[in-house]
Amino acid sequence: MSPLKVFRHIILILCLAGLQPVCAQFDIDSLFNEAIKHAGLKEYNRAIKEANQVLKLDSSRNDVRLFLANVHGWKQEFEEANNYINDVYENEPGNSQLYDSWLNILHWSGDYKTLLNTLQIAADNGYPNAYNMALKTALAHEALGQYGAGVRYLNQHPEFLDSSAVRNLYDMMRAKDRSKVLSVYYRQDLFEGNTPKPQHLAYIDYGFRQKRNNWIFRLNYSNRYDKEDLQPEVDLYHFFNNGHYLYANYGLGIRKTLFPNHRLGLEYFLPFGKGWEMSMGGRYLYFTHEDVIVLTASLSKYISNWWFNIQPYYAVKESGNSITTLFRSRLYGENPINFWGLEIAYGNTPDDRFSYSQGIETDWLNSYRIKVERNFALYPTTELRFGVGYAYEEIHRNYSRTRIMFELLLKQRF
């Protein structure tokens, strides 16, 4: 007879002998083990149902409540998860496993302000996992843009910098805490048959942080089709308490030969769930002979070290409406400043720097392009990015061309 069958026979004999509490506990533990097994198989609904049955049989099981909180957290059902967390906190505030789950759920939900408050509650109740507290504190400060506070905290706890996860957050916050950033960008486009001649696009910008606002002042330069133009512009990113932020932009064409006479932009960004972000907004471009309204939206997702983004642009203009769909992805290294990027686009909406110029450029029928880029840290406060791309453009129904693009971006933080 197998050991499992022997064990079952023993339980049966004990039950027949009138030891009902032993039988009841055996049934409850067996049911909870089934719930754990189904959760491991990502059968979350079944796991929740079985765990709730356990609570009906034994309402004192805080370990089951924490299990339910975690499962709801994995399902991104954060309100339900917090209900179970609150029940355990009221009954057993010194339970160390409570804070393991609580801190994770707040991190998953992106509620970093509450996470910082809860870290203090955990410390007050003797939570023993000092490394987890250091990591979660650094994550919260970085997500809230409180880079100086995050750096000061880790400077006071240097013993945790041996962890690669904490060290990377520390280096990233130390770089971002430099509130002033100078960037220099250059791009060259080469065409098959050297027709038209190589085109050039460059800019220099200066950004700085002012409380909840990030300001970027930029001067763009374009040289295309034997024409030159300058465009000063300003970007504003305003960050709200809930983690949302707003982008606003204004640009002015100086010579009005390549850049739009005026360029306005507005877009609202909304992080949600675990690693998700969406946005909605628009652009207005006024050229000498035409104005263009561009509507846009985006959806982004972080999965492990990957970032994925899709963003369509829909342009409404007198010469005919058009649409561009842009897909981007990045693979980050241990230091997020180091990443590989991929960009794929279809369409000809005149919103990005790829299609700033007017005239023949706005008459494209179809355009396809792909770009690969590499960004890396030269020093803790210096980063370099280079990229190469290929585009196929259908200018008229009987004429198409290809172009090769090279670009370089240097950033220095002060």
Question: What is the secondary structure of 153-170 as a DSSP string?
Answer: HHHH-GGGGGSHHHHHHH
Task: Tell me the C-alpha distance between 219 and 337, whole Å.
Answer: 24
The interaxial angle of helices 112-124 and 130-143, nearest 10 deg, is: 160
- Output the pLDDT for position 14: 47
What is the end-to-end Cα distance of the chain in Å, rounded? 74
Range of the domain at 241: 181-413
- Output the pLDDT for position 25: 54
Residue 368 sits in the same domain as residue 385 = yes
Quick check: helix, strand or coil at residue 251?
A: strand
Quick check: helix, strand or coil at residue 53?
A: helix
Quote the distance between the C-alpha of residue 367 and its chain's center. 28
Question: Which residue among 141, 176, 211 closes a domain?
Answer: 176
Question: Which residue among 134, 155, 176 closes a domain?
Answer: 176
Task: Tell me the C-alpha distance between 306 and 333, whole Å.
Answer: 9
Q: Which residues of the chain have pLDDT under 70?
A: 1-26, 175, 178, 349-365, 396-397
Task: Tell me the C-alpha distance between 239 and 46, whole Å.
Answer: 40
Q: Indicate the DSSP class of residue 254.
A: S
Q: Residue 382: CB partners within 8 Å, gap ≥ 6?
A: 410, 411, 412, 413
- Output the pLDDT for position 17: 47
- Output the pLDDT for position 349: 55
Quick check: helix, strand or coil at residue 396?
A: strand
Residue 211 sits in the same domain as residue 133 = no
**């486009």: which residue's tokens?**
189
- Output the pLDDT for position 178: 66
Q: Residue 305: CB partners within 8 Å, gap ≥ 6?
A: 331, 332, 333
List C-alpha distances in Å: 362 to 137, 151, 357.
49, 48, 8
Residue 46 sits in the same domain as residue 117 = yes
Which pTM value belongs to this model?
Answer: 0.67
- Output the pLDDT for position 172: 76
**């969406």: which residue's tokens?**
278
Residue 276 CB neighbour total at 10 angstroms? 14
Q: Residue 220: CB partners within 8 Å, gap ≥ 6?
A: 201, 202, 203, 230, 231, 232, 233, 251, 259, 353, 356
Token pair listed for 273: 């769930």
- Number of structural domains (the chain) is 2
Residue 75 sits in the same domain as residue 206 = no
Residue 105 sits in the same domain as residue 226 = no
Task: Tell me the C-alpha distance between 145 and 211, whole Å.
Answer: 10
Residue 217 sits in the same domain as residue 259 = yes
Mean pLDDT score of the chain: 85
Residue 212 sits in the same domain as residue 315 = yes
CATH number at residue 57: 1.25.40.10
pLDDT tens digits, residue range 210-223? Answer: 878 889 999 999 99
Residue 205 sits in the same domain as residue 351 = yes
Task: Tell me the C-alpha distance between 340 and 23, whole Å.
Answer: 58
Containing H/E element for 209?
strand 199-210
> In the 3-class helix/strand/coil scheme, how is 280-342 assigned residue by residue?
EEEEEEECCCCEEEEEEEEEEEEECCEEEEEEEEEEEECCCCEEEEEEEEEEECCCCCCEEEE
Token pair listed for 29: 């533990």
Residue 327 sits in the same domain as residue 231 = yes
Question: Which residue among 152, 176, 200 closes a domain?
Answer: 176
CATH number at residue 304: 2.40.160.40
Q: Residue 66: CB partners within 8 Å, gap ≥ 6?
A: 84, 85, 88, 95, 97, 98, 101
Residue 43 sits in the same domain as residue 102 = yes
- Output the pLDDT for position 1: 55
Residue 345 sits in the same domain as residue 276 = yes
The dihedral built from the CA positions of residue 105, 111, 116 and 118, taken in this order, carries a sign that is negative
Residue 241 sits in the same domain as residue 375 = yes
- Output the pLDDT for position 324: 87
